[in-house]
């Protein structure tokens, strides 16, 4: 920090949940601190997208990329039922892949924080997922019908998140539903490998109307703070405490 006293006196350093850090105004990121020094945000996005596609089978994306590299993803061509890429002012905000076989693992930990909608559905993903690295501006995240793995820490989800769908993967527990974001409407964890007798919840978001835990080895849910809620799927009413 001592290296940038004038910058720090004018703009706060936001310690993001994922690395690298960004120097920001309340409106737009100004600089990104990476291992290579200071980068403008669009420069960081270019490098990040190269990492996102590092393990992707590029022959499967040629019809969308038209030969352009990942760092020019804003120029790729979307397909309504297979892949969608949307940018605003050069920043990626919508990133979706659907039913693309042999895609290879997408490096979701490197997705830019500017993304508000991310979906990778039925693309044979096998990566280990860390919820701490979800895009921080994401409103909707869907990684359904894959073989993704990892222990789900739901205490670190973004305060912007509205819908989270992790249906039909290989995620494990334990899970804790006491610190969900206030914005959350739906949480779908059905058909995973969560082996947990009791899931504890408390002070659920007022907006939430569905939590689907079916298809796991979960026997009951128990309220430890706030009011008991009946927003559950996959749990018998007699097992909601």
Higher-pLDDT residue of 62, 10: 62
In-domain check, residue 191: yes
83-88 vs 91-98, strand pairing mode: antiparallel
Domain that holds residue 91: 58-239
- Tens of pLDDT, residue by residue over 130-146, are 999 999 999 999 999 99
**CA dist 192 → 16, 90, 129, 147, 178 (Å):** 29, 36, 13, 9, 20
In-domain check, residue 224: yes
In-domain check, residue 30: no
Residue closest to 30 by CA, chosen among 39, 158, 128, 196? 39
- How many residues are recorded in the chain? 241
Cα torsion 118, 121, 124, 126: sign: positive
What is the reported pTM?
0.84
In-domain check, residue 216: yes
In-domain check, residue 217: yes
Residue 168 reports pLDDT greater than 50: yes
| Average pLDDT of span 69-80 | 94
CA distance 137 to 147: 25
What CATH number did the domain enclosing 159 receive? 3.80.10
Question: How many structural domains comprise the chain?
Answer: 1
| pLDDT band at residue 173 using 50, 70 and 90 as cut-offs | confident
CA distance 153 to 221: 17
In-domain check, residue 18: no
In-domain check, residue 19: no
In-domain check, residue 210: yes
Q: What is the pLDDT of residue 80?
A: 84
Residue closest to 187 by CA, chosen among 124, 235, 239? 235
**Which range among 10-19, 95-104, 119-128 shows the weakest confidence by mean pLDDT?**
10-19
Cβ neighbours of residue 80 under 8 Å, at least 6 residues apart?
A: none
Residue 49 reports pLDDT greater than 70: yes
């Amino acid at each position: 920090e001592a290296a940038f006293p004038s910058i720090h006196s004018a703009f706060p350093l936001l310690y993001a949940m994922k690395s690298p850090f960004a120097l920001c105004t309340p409106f737009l990121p100004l600089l990104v601190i990476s291992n290579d020094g200071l980068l403008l945000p669009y420069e960081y996005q270019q490098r990040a997208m190269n990492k996102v596609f590092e393990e992707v089978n590029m022959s499967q994306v040629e019809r969308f990329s038209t030969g352009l590299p990942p760092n020019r993803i804003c120029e790729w061509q979307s397909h309504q039922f297979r892949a969608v890429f949307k940018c605003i002012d050069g920043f990626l905000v919508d990133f979706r892949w659907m039913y693309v076989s042999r895609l290879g693992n997408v490096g979701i930990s490197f997705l830019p924080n500017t993304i508000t909608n991310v979906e990778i559905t039925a693309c044979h993903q096998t990566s280990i997922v860390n919820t701490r690295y979800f895009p921080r501006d994401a409103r909707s995240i869907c990684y359904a019908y894959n073989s993704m793995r990892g222990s789900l820490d739901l205490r670190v989800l973004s305060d912007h998140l509205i819908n989270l769908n992790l249906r039909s993967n290989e995620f494990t527990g334990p899970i804790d539903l006491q610190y969900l974001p206030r914005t959350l409407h739906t949480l779908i964890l059905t058909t995973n490998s969560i082996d947990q007798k009791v899931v504890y919840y408390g002070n659920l978001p007022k907006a939430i109307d569905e939590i689907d835990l079916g298809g796991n080895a979960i026997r009951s849910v128990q309220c430890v703070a706030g009011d008991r809620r009946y927003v559950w799927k996959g749990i018998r009413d007699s097992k909601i405490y």
